[in-house]
Chains A and B, each alone.
Chain A
Amino acid sequence: MKSGFATLSAMLRQRSGAVGIVLVIVHLLIALLAPIIIPHDAVAQDAAAILEPPSFAHLFGTDRLGRDIFSRTLLGGREAIVISTLSTICAMVWGCLLGIILALAGGRLDACVMRVIDAMVAIPWILLVMLFVAALGSSTVALIPLLGFSYGLSVIYLARSAALDFVARDFVLAAQVRGESRWTIAVTELLPNIRDSLAVQGAMQWSWIFLAVSSLSFLGMGVAPPTPDWGQMISDARGIMRSAPWAVVWPMVFLSSLIIGVNLSVDAWAKVLSIGQLGRIPQP
């Protein structure tokens, strides 16, 4: 197990890892500092400046309501980043705990619960969220537990199979003989051993959840206007791509560079910790 600093410097020595980390850091700085550095009010509409091409007054131009795209793009990741981070924490906590407990319990309990999880994974998450949006109406606060729940399902598989590698080892047996509770064994014996691979998986989950939030905003079910969001900006400006390409290009560039940065960093991280197979395919 390596210290945080050693891991980071090993990641930076790989070219793709360095690119990824720089992209992520730049995005975090932008998200943190955006309220200070934006030149215009991001929600202020200006009927005199509708769909203006980029200029010194408006670096990225203006959208169809005359809002400054530069300011909106800088702010556009903030809410989605917060939602994805909180959802990832939910997903990791419930997925890891249930996965580890199931690996320890084994037998009939494990088999039964896993069959139910199999069935739940078969329904695409986006429909799951839609089912709830249909009933409750869209709300960003409701998105966090919803996404946390549905992405936690795939974490259960990962945590369970990671824990299964250790369940039969002597030190777990020793703890069982000592009479320690299942809960204590999960937290003090298994969790430290699978911490690294779960952390990398968590970062991967984050990028999928971020994509999910952006896709939902794109469909009008995520971040609610007037709060600027990249997915929602792209969906707004898509129809006027021919006459005002600047309105759609910048949110795309920001959104894609964040996601690519996270993926490059995760790849480098997995390589440094020598975690072979990442569960690369997002659950449907």
Chain B
Amino acid sequence: MLSLIVRRIANSVFTLVLISVVVFAGLELMPGDACTAYLGREGKGAALDACRARMGLDASPAIRFGQWASSIMSGDLGISTQRDKPITEIVGWRLRNTLVLSAVAALVGIPLAVFLGIFAGLRHDGPFDLAASGVALVAMTIPEFVSASLLIMVFAVGLEWTAGVVTIGYKASLPEMAAAAVLPALVLSMILSAHIMRMVRASVIDVFKSDFVLMARLKGVPRQQIIWRHVVPNSLLPVISVIGLTIAWMLGGVVIVESIFNYPGLGRLAVDVVGDRDLPLVQAIALLFGITYVITNMVTDIVALMLNPRLRTYRA
């Protein structure tokens, strides 16, 4: 058990190293570098050489990767070319804000999805199931920017309950941030819970058909006990990894949702930064998203491993 967890963690560390290589190589492969992006049309001749020398871009890619990687290890993400500030300073607050947004969305969306999924699955093809599955299909298929615009239309323009865009700065306090995150989190949790609900529903229907449930029914176990003791725990096991994947998906969705609501997080920063051609900052943001993805997947895998003994037995 412990060795499995250790192996899983080692695995993730290795993936993280590969991610940093991929992010670095991705920028290397592209025409131009941080200096041509920074200088724009003046980027030729002596000015370009001077800039490259100042930023250390004249060294070979392998050496620069080594420097970049070692500075990341010590917690330094480099310096933004356009903003002339350390990237850690720019990114830190915004990463916190994105995590607050994702956390609110997950805390609302996951329990909701699990309950709806269980009830839809227990009475599948009934009126509740048809309604819930229909809504889920629509919620998970239409793009984030359409559902976000619809929610703004209803809650901000129609009912005037909240503002349509977030107006507080990125250094606002945690409760303020969580309050501002309600509408964007609603968009994310709508999509998140639609995916998870469909999965829970399918899994409940599946487990209900299995032999051990038939056995319990033949023994005369009361229906409520069958449901809550046998069906629900077993049907939630395969859902754990799906929850991990959906949260990882949400990190991509965050980019669009944040820029719609003007929410001061990492995703909106990414969109802003692309316009400025601030390559070191883009690199840092891509790396942070990659790290968050790997950690999320690792945690859900370990949770699944602890809750589901069957995963511990056969493994190459």
A interface residues, Cβ below 8 angstroms from B: 115-116, 118-120, 122-128, 130-136, 207, 211, 214-215, 218-219, 221, 231, 234-235, 238, 241-242, 245, 248, 252, 255-256, 259-260, 263-264, 280-284
B187 to chain A, nearest CB (A): 13
What are 7 A-B residue pairs whose CB atoms fall within 8 Å in the complex? Answer: A124-B255, A131-B30, A136-B31, A218-B256, A241-B152, A255-B143, A281-B195
Nearest-Cβ distance from residue A147 to partner chain B, whole angstroms: 13
Alpha-carbon separation in the docked complex, A283 to B149 (Å): 23
Known A-B contacts A124-B255, A215-B256; A280 and B18 likewise in contact (beta carbons under 8 Å): no
Q: Is B277 an interface residue (CB 8 A)?
A: yes
Which among A131, A219, A221, A282 is the interface contact of B282 at CB below 8 angstroms? A131
- From known contacts A127-B282, A248-B149, infer whether A242 and B157 are also in contact, taking CB-CB under 8 Å: yes
Contact present for B149 and A127 (CB under 8 Å): no
A263 to B283, CA, bound (A): 34
- Listed in ascending order, the chain B residues whose CB lies under 8 Å from chain A are 14-15, 18-19, 21-23, 26-27, 30-32, 37, 137-138, 141-146, 149-150, 152-153, 157, 195, 198-199, 242, 245-246, 248-253, 255-256, 259-260, 270-271, 273-274, 277, 279, 282-283, 285-286, 289-290, 293-294
Q: With A and B bound together, what is the CA distance between A120 and B274 in angstroms?
A: 20
A280 partner, pick from B19, B198, B260, B289, beta carbons under 8 A? B198
B165 to chain A, nearest CB (A): 10
Contacts of B249 in A (CB 8 A): 281-284
List residues of chain B with CB within 8 A of the CB of A118. Answer: 15, 18
Contact yes or no, A135 B30, CB < 8 A = yes
Across the A-B interface, how many residue pairs have beta carbons closer than 8 Å?
A: 143
B18 and A256 contacting across the interface, CB-CB below 8 Å: no
**19 additional contacts (CB under 8 A) given A127-B286, A255-B142, A282-B249:** A119-B18, A122-B19, A123-B23, A123-B289, A124-B252, A126-B255, A130-B274, A134-B279, A135-B30, A135-B279, A136-B30, A136-B31, A215-B144, A215-B145, A241-B149, A259-B143, A263-B141, A281-B242, A284-B253
Grouping DSSP codes into helix (H, G, I), strand (E, B) and loop, the B interface class, with mixed when no group exceeds half, is helix
Q: Contacts A119-B22, A255-B146 known; A130 to B15 CB distance under 8 Å?
A: no
Contact of B256 among A115, A207, A219 (CB under 8 A): A219
Residues of A within 8 A of B142 (CB): 255-256, 259-260
Which residues of the other chain, B, contact A263 by a CB distance below 8 angstroms?
137, 141
Bound complex: CA A219 to CA B23 (Å): 22
Q: Which residues from B are CB-within-8-Å of A116?
A: 18, 22
Q: Which of B37, B146, B246 has the largest number of chain A CB atoms within 10 A?
A: B146
Contacts of B14 in A (CB 8 A): 115
By the criterion CB–CB under 8 Å, are A234 and B255 in contact? no
A284 to chain B: which residues have CB within 8 Å?
Answer: 248-253, 293
Please, which residue of chain A has its CB at the minimum distance from the CB of B289?
A124
In whole angstroms, how far apart are the Cα atoms of A119 and B30 in the complex? Answer: 19
The docked-state distance in angstroms from the alpha carbon of A134 to that of B285 is: 13
* A11 CA to B137 CA, complexed, in Å: 18
Closest to B26 in A: A131
Tell me the bound Cα distance from A234 to B32 in angstroms.
Answer: 33
Residues of chain B contacted by A219 (CB below 8 angstroms): 256, 259, 271
Once bound together, how far apart are the Cα atoms of A207 and B140, in whole Å?
Answer: 12
Our pick among A131, A211, A252, A255 for the contact of B27 (Cβ within 8 Å) is A131
Q: Which residues of B lie under 8 Å from residue A248 when comparing CB positions? A: 149
Among all A-B residue pairs, the 3 with the closest Cβ atoms: A284-B252, A119-B18, A124-B252
One of A130, A134, A231, A260 near B141 (C-beta < 8 A):
A260
**CA distance in complex: A173, B174 (Å):** 61
CA distance A173 to B30 in the complex (A): 43
Q: Which residues in B have their C-beta under 8 angstroms from that of A238?
A: 149, 152, 260
Indicate if the CB atoms of A281 and B246 lie closer than 8 Å. Answer: yes
A128, B282: Cα distance in complex, Å: 10
Give A118 to B15 CA distance when docked, in angstroms. Answer: 7
Residues of A within 8 A of B279 (CB): 134-135
B138 touches A260 (CB 8 A): yes
Q: How far is the CB of B117 from chain A (nearest CB, A)?
A: 14
Which residues of A sit under 8 angstroms from B32, Cβ to Cβ?
Answer: 135
Contacts of B144 in A (CB 8 A): 215
Q: Which of A131, A235, A259 contacts B145 (CB 8 A)?
A: A235
Task: Give bound CA distance, A241 to B259, whole Å.
Answer: 17
Interchain nearest-CB distance for A87 vs B (Å): 16
Query: Nearest A residue to B286 by beta-carbon distance?
Result: A127
The reply to whether B255 and A119 contact each other, CB–CB distance below 8 Å, is: no
- B252 contact from A126, A134, A218, Cβ within 8 A: A126
Q: Are A123 and B282 in contact (CB under 8 A)?
A: no
Contact A281 B37 (CB under 8 A): no
Q: Could you tell me the distance in whole angstroms from the C-beta of A2 to the nearest C-beta in chain B? A: 24
Q: Which residues of B contact A136 (CB under 8 A)?
A: 30-31
Give A219 to B252 CA distance when docked, in angstroms: 14
Contact in complex: B37, A134 (CB < 8 Å):
yes
A252 touches B293 (CB 8 A): no
* Cross-chain contact A123 with B22 (CB below 8 angstroms): yes
Q: Chain A's nearest CB lies how many Å from the CB of B152?
A: 7
